[in-house]
Structures are given as C-alpha cells and as structure tokens.
Amino acid sequence: MKPILSYQDFVAGLKQNKLLGLRCRACGQVTAPPRATCPECRSFDLEILELSGRGRIETFTVIRVPPEPITEERTICLVKLEEGGQLMGSLLGVAPDEATMDLIAKPVRAGYRIDPQDILSGGERVGITFELV
Amino acid sequence: MREVAVVGVGMTRFARLPFSNVEMFSLAGREALEDASLSPGDIQALVCGNVFAVFEEGQSNLAPFVASDLGLDPVPATRVEGACASASLAIRQALLGVASGAYDLVMAGGTEKVLAMETPLATRTFAMGCDSRYEAATGITFPGVFGMVAHQYAHKYKLPLSSLKERMAAVAVQNHAHALNNPKAQFHKAITAEEVLTSPMIADPLQLYDCCPFTDGAAVVILASMDRARDLVKKPIRISGFGQGSAGPLYTQGDLTRVQAREHSARMAYKQAGRTPQDIDVCELHDCFTIAQIVATEGLGFFPYGQGSQAVLEGKTGMRGEVTVNPSGGLKAKGHPIGATGAAQVYEIVKQLRGEAGPRQVEGARVGITDTLGGDLMTCSNIILEA
C-alpha cells in the first residue's frame, strides 16, 4: 500500500518542474499539497493532477529571526492556487523591507528551492518558492 | 458522565528556573496536593503535559519520571502533547477519566523548560508546530504564523495595519498591567504602547513585545468527582464544560482569522455547560501573540468577528470590563512554558472563582473559561469552570 501522491512523489515532481496535486473523483475538488482524503468531501477516491503553479497571495509575513540553518530574512506567503488548495512558500524577487500589504491578492507562480538540511529536518529540505508574475 | 471539580491547584513561578522538568512538576504538584489536603497516595492517575523535554534535557517518557518523583507510582502515568495546548489536553484527558467513573482523583498539568534551549534551537523547535515538510521547510517560524494571521485580519476587515498594530499593542500593555498583581508571573513590569511599537520586528507585523516570552515553569491541578470533592474542600470548583477541536495545517484552513479548531472546541464546551459567551465573567485565553488574543476573543464569542480589536481600546476586556481577559497577565506577561500553560490558566480561573486572587480579583466572578491553542491553530481546548 502507498499514498496516492506521497511527499516523495510531490518532491520528485518539483524537481521535474511540475507542481503535482490531487483531484477528488467524488466531488471534483482539487487540492495540494498531498493528503489522504479530499478536504471538501473526505473521500479517499483521489487522482494525481498536474497543476499550473499559478495562484494569488492570501497573506504573508517577513521572517526577521530566521530558523537555523537558514540565515537570511524571508518573506513567506500563503498562496491560493488557481485550481484549488493553498500552498505555503517563500517569495523570491521582493526585498523583505518591500513586502507590504499590497502583496495580498498579487498573482504568483510556484517554483522550489533546496535548503541545507540538519539532523532535525528528516532529510533534504525542499521548499516551495513563489515569484510575482 | 459524572460531575467533576477542581480540588487543588499549584504552580511554580513562571521565570527562568534552575530546575528540571520533573522537579518543577513536583513543586507545583506538592502545592496542589497541599491545597487539597491530599497525599500522593490518594492520586489514582497522572496526566502530564510536556512538549520538548527531549530537546530541553534529553528526556522522553516524562510522565512516569514525574510519577516516581512525586510518589504517585505505580498508578497510570501518561504524557500528553498538543504543542502549546498540551496541559489543557492533559487536563481534558483527566476530566474524561473522572467523569467516566474510571477514577475519583486524578492529577493533571504540565511542565516545560523552554529556556534550557538557546534562542536558535527554541526557534527551530517551535517551528515544528508547523507542517515540517510543507511549511517549516519554507523557512516559516512560529511567530510568522501569527504574522500571517495579523496581515489577513487587517486585509479582511479593511483595517489599516497601523491601527491594528496600535490595538495589538494595547493588548500587550493591558496584560503587563494585570501581571503586576500576579506573584507567579514572569514579568512585573508595566510597558507602554510606544515600547511595543519600537521593539525589534520579529515576523512582520509582529514586534518583540507582540510576542510572549520563552519561559520555564509547571502548573498542576487535582480533579475529583464532585461527591469526593465536597468531602475534601470547602469550595470545589465545578467543571461544567470541556471541549477540544482539531484542524489541519495553515494551508488547509483558508480564513486564518476564524480558528476552526477553537470554534469546534468552544461550541462543545458551551453546549456541555449550557452556557453562552455572555455568561463568562473571566477568561484566561491564549495570547501567544497579541493578535492571537484579539482573534480568540472573537472565536470565543465575546465580540462579533472583526470587532475584537477595538474592544481592547474600549476597556471591554480589562479588570472592570464585560469579560476580564487574562487577569493573570496572560502568556505575554505571566510567561508561557508551553507544556504547562493550560494548567496555569485553570489555576488562575480557580483562584478567581474561589475569590482568592487578591489584588487581581475580578469582582463577582462566577463563571470562567480557559482557552489554549496548540501549533498552527491546529489544536484548541476550552474548559468552563463555575463557582
């Protein structure tokens, strides 16, 4: 037995520049990142779907005290994907001091980055990134 | 289910303490036993909240270590973890044990030694409350979660961010003022809104004084069946409702200004107690960050959604307000040893309902509620107590 879309599959997809999500065959809801059940109707009947990577910023913050081993300030966003679901990611191309409330509702596209791992990260640290489009 | 009452409470000072997690729980446990005129041998089970003993002192399976130290063994001893809600979850498990008739007397509470971790490790471990793969891996930290809540709140209610930040600062000022009268509190220092608004930025828009501190400490309560409680103490404090709720990571929640885990938990507690938010005289809620207090007062039904921020300015949550919030000083000024906080909230409400809160006594307090939130808004527990 295995998850329909596992974290490992999701990361493998990112490394092929694909953002993978799940569509519920029972109700049609699309979601990312991977999970066992549909967040809308709780069905297990899910299928893998490749997403566009496009979405809009719902909210954000700027991390001024970074968590080890990251050393730089980052703007972290919650993005609502156009097909459904939300993803958290770091925002590229906007200086932390330029991150204002104007970011909310701006359209973005997803990518990924790999951060240094440590003994607490359970392996490679792959994080979603976003860029303004 | 049977009626359950609190017969004893105890807590250490919340501060930087030179004691282990076990030592702190035993100190608080002894105070609770003496408060109830009980001995260790009377306790039939222990439920102990703790989050990070593994990182703080390399200790796992904390509960039987506590049980042995306090002379409670060989009774059942269980550690419960729900991030910052751990002690409330521990108390709720204990409540279920007494209400079901399995036990007559249970000790529950929590302990935490956050300051054993230096700030970098504490920042790293607190971020474990977020999804480790899909959230923490992006570089989010725990204050960042509430930074997102604050920005979303300002956007949703079309409140200029600077206005929201002033209201958030007022929360910090009020909680520090309340703590001046709490000998167990970490801080006995009044602060001003200007100090809040000029403190270092931690995770936009939260500044240092918008954030609760790192703290060591333990708090313990002793629960009894109501029949047993009446034989034991003059003023048993009845627990009329106890709820709990869960939710997924931030990215599953949609509107972060409405904490679904709390809505479920509060509804459960109010329904069981046969109470409404308007019945509440005094509340100890989860102000891990100033914005969290504002959002909590709305989620608990004290103010309509979107109006919690102005309520602070209008004095509605002060010592003479419609509902006094955090007379202890809250997490912000009393301190937040994360595994212990829920039990310290019950400690305060019990003191208030017994009329033992001294200079921070809320006049005529008869119905109180505690509110503890764990992690990414993912776990919430509410306990309603009545004099």
Residue A77's pLDDT is 98
Q: Which residues of A touch B147 (CB under 8 A)?
A: 60-62
Angstroms from B8 CA to nearest CA on chain A: 39
| Strand stretches in chain B, DSSP E | 4-11, 45-49, 77-80, 105-113, 201-203, 206-207, 216-225, 237-246, 282-284, 324-325, 367-374, 379-386
CB atoms within 10 A of CB B112: 32
User: What mean pLDDT do residues B128-134 have?
Assistant: 95
Task: For B201-219, write each residue's pLDDT tens digit.
Answer: 999 999 999 999 999 999 9
Q: B237 CB near a chain A CB, below 8 Å? A: no
**Residue B227 near residue B339 (C-beta atoms within 8 A):** no
Which residue carries 């309902």 as its tokens? B353
Query: Average pLDDT of chain A?
Result: 96
Residue B220's pLDDT is 98
Strands B4-11 and B77-80: unpaired
User: What mean pLDDT do residues B225-229 have?
Assistant: 98
How many Å apart are CA B224 and CA B237, to the nearest integer? 10
For residue B304, the SS3 value is coil
Q: Which of B176, B178, B286, B336 is catalytic?
A: B336
Q: A24-38, A96-110, A111-125, B355-369 — which is least confidently predicted?
A: A111-125
Angstroms from A75 CA to nearest CA on chain B: 9
Angstroms from B358 CA to nearest CA on chain A: 39
How large is the ipTM?
0.97
Residue A123's pLDDT is 86
Nearest-CA neighbor of B110 among B221, B33, B198? B221
CB contact under 8 A, A74 and B138: yes
Residue A120's pLDDT is 86
Question: Pick the residue with more confidence: A68 or B302?
Answer: B302
Residue A61's pLDDT is 98
Look up B48 and say whether it is catalytic. Answer: no
Task: For B80-119, write each residue's pLDDT tens digit.
Answer: 999 999 999 999 999 999 999 999 999 999 999 999 999 9
Look up B283 and say whether it is catalytic. Answer: no
Residue B89's pLDDT is 98
Angle, nearest 10°, between helix axes B86-99 and B341-354? 60
User: What mean pLDDT do residues B296-305 have?
Assistant: 98
Query: Taking the complete model, does pTM exceed 0.95, yes or no?
Result: yes
Query: Average pLDDT of chain B?
Result: 97
Residue B167's pLDDT is 98
- Chain A residue at shortest CA distance from B247: A39
Residue B4's pLDDT is 98
User: Residue A71: CB partners within 8 Å, gap ≥ 6?
Assistant: none
Q: Which of B48, B84, B130, B283 is catalytic?
A: B84
Question: Does residue A68 surpass a pLDDT of 90?
Answer: no
User: What mean pLDDT do residues A12-19 have?
Assistant: 97
Residue A69's pLDDT is 83
Q: Which residues of B touch A127 (CB under 8 A)?
A: 137-139
Residue A121's pLDDT is 85
Residue A118's pLDDT is 85
Percent of chain A whose predicted confidence (pLDDT) is above 70: 100
Which residue carries 């002192």 as its tokens? B57
How many Å apart are CA B102 and CA B111, to the nearest integer? 25
Picking from B251, B253, B376, B377 by the largest number of A CB atoms within 10 A of its own CB, the best residue to mutate is B251
Residue A119's pLDDT is 86
